[in-house]
Structures are given as structure tokens and as C-alpha cells.
Chains A and B, each alone.
Chain A
Amino acid sequence: DADVTQTPRNRITKTGKRIMLECSQTKGHDRMYWYRQDPGLGLRLIYYSFDVKDINKGEISDGYSVSRQAQAKFSLSLESAIPNQTALYFCATSAQRGPRRNTGELFFGEGSRLTVL
């Protein structure tokens, strides 16, 4: 089983609909992130959270919101989806403690492909 699980893996929706992408992890990491991948632009950070009570905006947070319900869960919401939010979304985690804490390494989920018509 994947350590970082994203649901749904694929979703097609219409403009104006509310969408939630969910992420859960079993790695025991405190830090969680949402990235978006677009062709020619690489991965861009949407939101990140270093703790259950901590939420921070990333590079492209407009049009998105997040909720850190528990240490293991971090969900991304699009309140009113628009076509230019069509992209591949990745959840990731990193270690704050332990031997890997200083590597900066992110552990990614398999991605959620969202299409907004």
C-alpha cells in the first residue's frame, strides 16, 4: 500500500462545482504539501502545513483552500472550479524529525488528475 494516498485519482467536473481532493499518509510525517503540475511549468506549491494547526499559502494559492484535519490528513478544496485549474495535483509529506529531517526530501502521492470542463 502507498504511504501517501490521494483520492480521487481522476475526476472530471464542470465549471463552478466544488471539488475536494483528499490526502492521507501513514509515514508519520508532520509536514504535508499540495503541489500542482502543469506541462512546461513543473510542480508549483499551492499550500503547505507543518502541523495540524498550521496552514501556509504557497506560490499559487488563489482559488484553493486546504484543511488539515489530523496529522495524517490534508485535503485541498476548489470552492468554484474553473478550467485553468485543470492539472495534475500531488500531495507530499516530509519529515520534521528523525534521520531524514535534514534532507528536504518530499514523499509524493501518485497524483490526482482533475479536469474542469
Chain B
Amino acid sequence: DQQVKQNSPSLSVQEGRISILNCDYTNSMFDYFLWYKKYPAEGPTFLISISSIKDKNEDGRFTVFLNKSAKHLSLHIVPSQPGDSAVYFCAASPTLPHGKLTFGQGTILTVHP
């Protein structure tokens, strides 16, 4: 049973526009959520995170929104740049400090110049 789901395998966006990547989870014990970005032939790298006590966290062009009642989070990238083209994974954890993350399937983002 996939506890963290990214239902869109891919997303295509024009440079300068907003990219919105979505993630749903089923385990109500998840308390901390992270987004990772992965380029080909590289390992995933941490992008941004959010604790369940918040509903929004911003870091430059990246903002993560959390809706606990809907068990849904989203990553907004504004403005999108061609260098943002990568696979994006959302991940969740029931408690911290703990690196035992449950990952979604990933969404391939392509930003066209």
C-alpha cells in the first residue's frame, strides 16, 4: 500500500510560469514532510521541508503548502527555470529526529525555455 502518492508522473511547464507538484498521503501519523529533487545520474538532494504544525514554508522560489485535513501537500516553484527540470519526490516521516522516510513515486518536471 503506497502511503505517499504522487499521482502525476510528469509535468511540463513554460519557463517563468508556476510549477505545482502535488503529493497525497494516507498515514495520519506522518508529522513531517520533505521534498527532494533528483537529476539524472545523481542522488536525490533535499529541497524544502515542512512540519505539521505549519501550513506553509517558503525558501526562495520554492514554497510548500500542507493541508493536514486533506492529507495533501504541494510544492510551488515560481518562477520556473529550465534548471528546475528534474524528478521531484515528496517524502514523509512520523517523527523527528528520524531519517526513516517514506517516499512518493516521483514527478518528472520539465521546464521549457
| A interface with B by C-beta (< 8 Å) | 4, 31, 33, 35, 40-45, 48, 58-59, 90, 92-96, 101-111
**Closest 7 A/B residue pairs (Cβ):** A108-B43, A94-B99, A42-B103, A43-B103, A42-B105, A105-B46, A101-B97
Q: Name B residues whose Cβ lies closer than 8 Å to a Cβ of A.
A: 4, 6, 9, 32, 34, 36, 41-46, 49, 89, 91, 93, 96-106
A103, B44: Cβ atoms closer than 8 Å: no
27 CB < 8 A contacts A-B:
A33-B99, A33-B100, A40-B9, A41-B105, A42-B4, A42-B6, A42-B104, A43-B89, A45-B102, A48-B99, A48-B100, A59-B102, A92-B43, A95-B97, A96-B97, A103-B46, A104-B34, A104-B97, A105-B99, A106-B99, A107-B46, A108-B43, A108-B44, A109-B43, A110-B41, A110-B43, A111-B41
